[in-house]
Amino acid sequence: MSAAVLTKPALPVTDEGRIGLRANLRHIGALARRNMLQIKKDPESMFDVLIMPIIFTLLFVYVFGGAISGNGNQDEYVNYLIPGLMAMMGMNIAMAVGTGVNDDFKKGVMDRFRSMPIARSSVLIGKIVVELGRMVVAVTILLAMGFLVGFEADSVPGLLASVALSLGFGVSLMWIFILLGLSLSSPQAVQGMAMIVLMPLQFGSSIFAPTSTMPGWLQSFTDVNPLSNLADAARALTQGGSVGNSVWITLAWAVGITVVTAPLAVAKFRKAA
């Protein structure tokens, strides 16, 4: 971490309004750099980003693809699956933010940040910046694997728009997991709670299969599941279909989640730190 930015002797700052925008951006940059250096020292922490997209693509295309498509044609299923997996990547990677925050508290790192004249939100945003970078890597690998197994996108702008939508929604989810990381007692507890949340949302959605074959009560859940809206929006953007309201609903979910959970996470962090 840059000593020039974060080690100037000063009293702890609890009022973030005293810190200017430029200083706040410097703090975020220094904290993001600190998190990236952690990854450099522990490259194994990137295994989930590098391997998970490959495993999920191969698993669902070649093991389940023929059965799910209904006619044994994996090629047809690829164009359905890859946009859905983009929606899933953000949620899985967001979980790492919560465990990282919790682990930093256990190691006493947050006690060091408490003595520094920095905005409390900059610590959390610095983590989000790095996890967003990890998410970009995961989506890039996912798309590369998708193209290798036959994925086709009708337009580059639509593909880029679907990636941006997935990344934006993933960032909003990070605030939820940060709040969990600040509220639960251990990284294992964060992971356990995250899986309880992740499993119903992922499999009770249109990510892996059309919802038309699901029971009526489950279809009602998938209709309001934000991951279904994100997956449907990504498919429409990449395949040139009718977008409808799925993009706007996904954006509304992302904004709503951020507006609600980001202030709660910062307040919880300020209280805990």
| Average pLDDT value for residue range 176-199 | 87
Quick one: pLDDT at residue 111? Answer: 63
pLDDT more than 70, % of the chain: 87
Report the distance separating Cα 210 and Cα 50, nearest Å. 27
Q: What is the CA radius of gyration of the chain?
A: 20
Q: Are 120 and 267 in contact (CB under 8 A)?
A: no
- Tokens (6 digits) for 240: 């040139």
- Give 210 or 5, the one with higher predicted confidence: 210
What global pTM score does this model have? 0.84
| Average pLDDT value for residue range 206-227 | 88
Q: How confident is the model at residue 141 (pLDDT cuts 50, 70, 90)?
A: very high
- Tokens (6 digits) for 93: 């990677």
> What is the distance of C-alpha 235 from the center of its chain?
19
Report the distance separating Cα 42 and Cα 107, nearest Å. 16
DSSP 20: -
Residue 33 pLDDT exceeds 80:
yes
Instruction: For 130-148, give one letter per residue: b (16+ CB within 10 A) or e.
Output: bbbebbbebbebbbebbee
| Average pLDDT value for residue range 223-230 | 91
pLDDT in tens, 81-103: 999 999 888 888 888 888 888 88
- The Cα-based distances of 240 to 114, 143, 158, 166, 168 in angstroms read 50, 17, 8, 17, 21
pLDDT in tens, 54-78: 999 998 888 877 777 666 667 778 9
